[in-house]
Amino acid sequence: MEHVLGFVALAAGLIIGLGAIGACIGIGIMGSKYLEASARQPELMNALQTKMFLLAGLIDAAFLIGVGIAMMFAFANPFVLK
Amino acid sequence: MSIEEGAVQAHEAAANAPTAGEYIGHHLTHFNSTGHPQASIIDFSVINVDTLFYSVTLGLLTIFLLWLAARKATSGVPGRFQGAIEMLVEMVAGQAKGIIHEEESRKFVAPLALTVFVWVFMMNAMDFLPLDVIPNIWQQITGNHHAYMRVVPTADLNATLGMSMGVLLLCVYYNIKIKGFGGWVHELFTAPFGSHPLLYPVNFAMQMIEFAAKTISHGMRLFGNMYAGELVFMLIALMGAAWSASGTGVALWVGQVLAGSAWAIFHILIVVLQAFIFMMLTLVYIGQAHEGH
């Protein structure tokens, strides 16, 4: 049982960590492109802003779902029989 | 005191003060029609009463607020409330106009999008209430100190998948309405790769996967965000609960206040954003049903 708990703790860390890497790279690339685009064409700023927030939510979602699952593993561990 | 008595007392103390896992587990259990926690992952005979109650109540509240604004609407100088609702309606109408080009469908879909946006926002915003307030009041009312109650309907997968399946049904309806039943079936078998008898099964499989993936990700995205948000609030609450139990407690208390405020402020963004995304995806999916391939 102890080693199951250890593996689940490692898994929770990996889920959050790898998810965070992906989400941060995604948000970073998108944010930099948005700033670049709105510096080139400031008149498009408002139209692009809506789309950027929409995409930020989409990128964030997978990561936050991962955080939710990792938290569930940590606190209501389904792998250990009670 | 004998050893057994000591053991019994320790057990009772443990039962009175829940561990972190028990606290979280208790807060993640729905008040459902069976009266005890749901045992299996999928069980269609269980009805989550709390989810139904809060979602319907908030839906009625939404309708009431918008009705209030519409009833008092004046073509003269609008008040603040009317101004805010007008901005909201114009924003949604603008988004709908950009995505769905059929005037006829927009008469139904634009108000649908507004309803979805405001309703999902209200349900998400239940997260801002202090975590234990409503469950505690409910436990006082029922007199059962282990009564279950969850107040965020969108943190229940049943609610979000129910809404996304509603959107799926609307997609099917508009596919048939715009393209005709024959036209839609033709599209199902020929759409992504082209019209060739050998490609029919591949096309059909792709279309089915697309519909399933759209619907599941639509519901899961909202659920995942709200569930994770609720869990983080629970963890922050646990930090406060550990305050009295340890010697270095004051730091934990300060930490709880700081972390709670920071997360609540960040959560304002998530709540509005997820409601907006749910609305936009509803519009996009229904808009896709209008476009022929």
User: What are the tens digits of pLDDT across the range B156-176?
Assistant: 888 999 999 999 999 999 999
Domain ranges of chain B: 17-290
> Locate tokens 């459902």: which residue?
B32
Q: Which of residues 39-68 of A touch B (CB under 8 A)?
A: 50, 53-54, 56-58, 60-62, 64-65, 67-68
Q: Per-residue pLDDT for A13 more than 90?
A: yes
Chain B partners within 8 Å of A75 (Cβ): 20-21, 24-25, 231
Contact B220 A65 (CB under 8 A): yes
Q: Model confidence over B107-136: pLDDT tens digits? A: 899 999 999 999 999 999 998 888 888 888
Contact B277 A57 (CB under 8 A): yes
B218 to chain A, closest Cα gap in Å: 10
Domain-embedded: residue A46: yes
Q: What is the mean pLDDT of residues B70-74?
A: 82
pLDDT attached to residue B245: 64
Of A53, A58, A75, the CB nearest to B21: A75
Position A81 confidence tier, pLDDT thresholds 50, 70, 90: low
Of B28, B228, B280, the CB nearest to A76: B28
Domain that holds residue A33: 2-75
Number of separate domains in chain A: 1
Chain A partners within 8 Å of B270 (Cβ): 57, 60, 64
Nearest to B159 by CA among B56, B230, B234, B269: B56
The pLDDT > 70 percentage for chain B reads 91
User: What is the rounded distance in angstroms from the CA atom of residue A19 to the CA atom of residue A69?
Assistant: 11
Q: Model confidence over B17-31: pLDDT tens digits? A: 677 777 887 888 888
- Comparison of pLDDT for A20 and B238, the residue scoring more: A20
Contact A71 B273 (CB under 8 A): no
A52 to chain B, closest Cα gap in Å: 11
Chain A partners within 8 Å of B30 (Cβ): none
Domain-embedded: residue A56: yes
Q: Per-residue pLDDT for B10 more than 70?
A: no
pLDDT attached to residue B6: 41
Alpha helices in chain B (DSSP H): 3-16, 20-27, 49-71, 80-99, 103-125, 133-142, 157-190, 200-241, 249-290
Position B16 confidence tier, pLDDT thresholds 50, 70, 90: low
Contact A68 B228 (CB under 8 A): yes
Residue from B121, B231, B266 to probe the interface with A (highest A Cβ count within 10 Å): B231
Residue from B277, B281, B284, B285 to probe the interface with A (highest A Cβ count within 10 Å): B277
The CATH number of residue A63's host domain is: 1.20.20.10
**Average pLDDT over chain A, rounded to whole?**
86
Contacts of B289 (CB under 8 A, 6+ apart): B170, B171, B172, B174, B175, B178
Active site residue B48: no
Q: Does B276 touch chain A (CB under 8 A)?
A: yes
Which residues on neighbouring strands pair with residue B48, listed in sequence order?
A: B32
Radius of gyration of chain A (CA): 18
Domain-embedded: residue A81: no
Position B9 confidence tier, pLDDT thresholds 50, 70, 90: very low
- Are residues B203 and B189 in contact, defined by beta-carbon separation less than 8 angstroms? yes
Q: Model confidence over B207-219: pLDDT tens digits? A: 899 899 889 888 9
Domain-embedded: residue A51: yes
Contact B277 A77 (CB under 8 A): no
pLDDT attached to residue B171: 92
Chain B partners within 8 Å of A60 (Cβ): 225, 270, 273
Position A50 confidence tier, pLDDT thresholds 50, 70, 90: confident
Of B21, B25, B273, the CB nearest to A57: B273
The structure tokens listed for B102 are 């059929």
Q: Per-residue pLDDT for A28 more than 90?
A: yes
